Amino acid sequence: MPATLDRVLLPADIAAAIGITPGAQEFSFTDDYGVTYSGTPSHVTLAALARRDRIRHICPDVPLVPRRIREIAIILIRWFTSPDTERAHATAFTELSPTRVCELVIYLGTCAAPKTLDKVGPATLHHYTGHLLNDPVPSADHPFPQLADMPYRALAGTESTLGAGLQVTATTPSDSREVEVPVRYEATETIAWSGKTSVAVPVDKLNQLLMDPADSLERYLTAVAEHLEFTDSETVEGRDITGRLRLPETPTSSTGLVSQHG
């Protein structure tokens, strides 16, 4: 993929893709589930850019571009909603227009890799948020900060639910509290059970079986495998049957290998 987002996209491209009209100071959107999101325009913009379903059609010829946009949007959410963010910076971000937020996404995608940006900690955060808000970026006269916390500490709130600090309200036409979201899923199932049974062993093989059960018993257990199934269950890897010898419930002889060894 190209090294930077600005080589394949303009801020106006991102804005148009999520429904922001040129020069708009307000922004809301309704998703495919009928839920409408409104609130602080800059926060609603980040919410849209951080969602796969809202940006998956951006730059279809370069599939990694939507992923990069999401990564940057998520970083901005963490930077401007963390309790570690300077209050004045958090407030100033809420005053940005939707288009300006898109410009910052392109700018961050141009300046540094998301993995680097994700390592900004509470000691250096204000340098980055101040740069985005107060410097005329992008500008050669105002270089992107190259600072890091030593040692690194994660921003407060980043372990909680993403977007919890966004000033965004979700509503449905019926004011319902839930919405049906279709999903695809795969599940794996492991069932283990044990029991007692009898297996048919040729008389001339019995002595061998009792002397070397580890190598021989499983061969005879396959004879009862068809009885060890659940009709409503499926397994991709097949059954793995192991067993051990047990003494007969009612010994038929008081001597010999059969009755004394198990």
DSSP state of 168: E
Q: Which one, of 35, 43, 45, lies nearest residue 15 by Cα?
A: 45
Average pLDDT, the chain: 83
What are φ and ψ of residue 120, in 5° steps? -70, 130
In what order do the strands lie in the sheet containing 29-30?
29-30, 36-39, 168-171
The position carrying tokens 């429904």 is 19
C-alpha distances (whole Å) from 73 to each of 6, 99, 200, 219 are 15, 13, 67, 59
pLDDT at 255: 44
How confident is the model over 201-237, as pLDDT tens digits? 878 778 877 777 665 677 777 666 666 655 555 666 6
Neighbours of 79 (CB within 10 A): 24
Q: Are strands 29-30 and 168-171 parallel, antiparallel or unpaired?
A: unpaired
Q: Which one, of 101, 85, 86, 106, lies nearest residue 43 by Cα?
A: 101
- Domain residue ranges of the chain, discontinuous segments joined by +: 5-171, 203-260
How confident is the model over 72-111, as pLDDT tens digits? 999 999 999 999 999 999 999 999 999 999 999 999 988 8
Model's pTM, two decimal places? 0.73
The position carrying tokens 């090294």 is 3
How confident is the model over 115-143, as pLDDT tens digits? 778 889 999 999 999 999 999 988 888 99
